[in-house]
Amino acid sequence: MGVSYRWVIVALGALMSCVAIGAMFSLAIFQEPIATATGWSHVGIASAMTLNFIVMGFGGFLWGAASDRFGPRIVVMIGSVLLGLALVLASRAETLLQFQLTYGILVGLAASTFFAPMIAATIGWFDENRGLAVSLVSAGMGVAPMTISPFARWLISAYEWRPAMLIIGVAAWVLLVPAALLVRRPPAEAADTGAEFAVDGAQPQLSKVFRSPQFIVLGLTFFACCAAHSGPIFHMVNYATICGVAPMAAVSIYSVEGLAGLGGRLLYGSLADRIGVKPVLVAGLLVQAGALATYLLVSELTQFYALAIVFGSAYGGVMPLYAVLAREYFGPRILGTVLGAATMLSSLGMAFGPLIGGWIFDTFANYSWLFIGSAMVGLGAAAIALAFPPLVRPKPQPVFGVAP
């Protein structure tokens, strides 16, 4: 199989992340129509997203380990079938509990099959420009708000929320099942990094990996980063509507964030390849924290657009960098497992935002404390990232001459 196939893997990963994450985050678009049609509370509906992230976290660890052992194709095929099924079942839910179980648990379990396996597979296909490659795969997440979210909004306007969710579920089957058939394992790769966690060249010891300062800092930074931005992302459409922005225009803010995230992924990924991952990550986390605090000052559509560009590029740009750091610290052999474990922690961070944001809105009828708290957590993420240990590079082997 030619080297050019690696770009097919990149395209497949981008498509899968777009559909899976787009379908999951479309709950932000469905939230108000569901609440209006059913009378369910905002916090009850948002708790489905909290369940998404909790299940996605634990599922990401299990699916990442499974992809290391069995290869990514079978894992993403299971996820493709399960995602469509979950959305179809959620569209038929008659009670809030049924909706929380189907959308919250099954969608989260399905979405967790794509990130760690496809990122690990992509990194395995690239010896150079790994930051850019991973950024392109995760760019699918940035494209999702520009595609799935407006599509969901249009479907809801045309057919109401139940048929809209059903159609998105069927579309997930149509797009993802054929794509999963094209996924291939990366070429065999020597374990050129992560050697400090291996014994006599054997597979790195997971117990040693998960207790290492490298993984602890990686996991805590990922957790705090996602805890900072998850609530504002999920509640952004509702917040803009409260500020007087029309519903379709509010969705367009979500789309601008996604477009900015796409550009941020390419920019931050390219910079990481040039000047190193750690300084780019810390800078991005600081920009994210500043943008979150600034949302307290905006009220007009143009202001929302301007800040969405800054915020979207920051949180979108830093997300792929965690995978590159995991590869540099721990090597390729257990990358799916390590990345899945880090993703588990990040998903737990993501889980708190929608729920806390819904509680804040139901309690105070505004989102001020959500943005204040998120900005403070974002600053904490940047502080934790400063503690990343230096990379341990393999020592070059001496070359001995052969006497004639």
DSSP-based helix, strand, coil % in the chain, nearest 5: 80, 0, 20
Residue-wise pLDDT for 226-260, tens only, equals: 999 988 888 888 888 888 888 778 878 877 887 78
pLDDT at residue 39 in the model: 86
Q: What domains are there in the chain, each with its CATH number? A: 5-185+202-385 (1.20.1250.20)
Report the SS3 class of residue 67.
helix
- CA separation for the pair 331, 190 (Å, rounded): 9
- Check: CB of residue 355 under 8 Å from CB of residue 78: no
Q: What is the pTM of this model?
A: 0.70
pLDDT for the residue numbered 258: 75
What sign does the CA torsion over 64, 67, 70, 74 have? positive
Residue 283: the pLDDT is 94
In this prediction, the residues of the chain whose per-residue pLDDT falls under 50 are 1, 190-193, 195, 198-200, 396-404
pLDDT at 197: 57
Alpha-carbon distances, residue 141 vs 149, 317, 319, 372 (angstroms) = 11, 11, 10, 25
Give the pLDDT of residue 393.
54
Q: Looking at residue 45, what is its pLDDT?
A: 86
CA distance 215 to 198: 15
Exposure class string for 331-343: b at 16+ Cβ within 10 A, else e: bbbbbbbbbbbbb
> Do 261 and 141 touch, CB atoms closer than 8 A?
yes
The answer to whether 87 and 35 have CB atoms below 8 angstroms apart is no
pLDDT at residue 339, as a whole number: 81
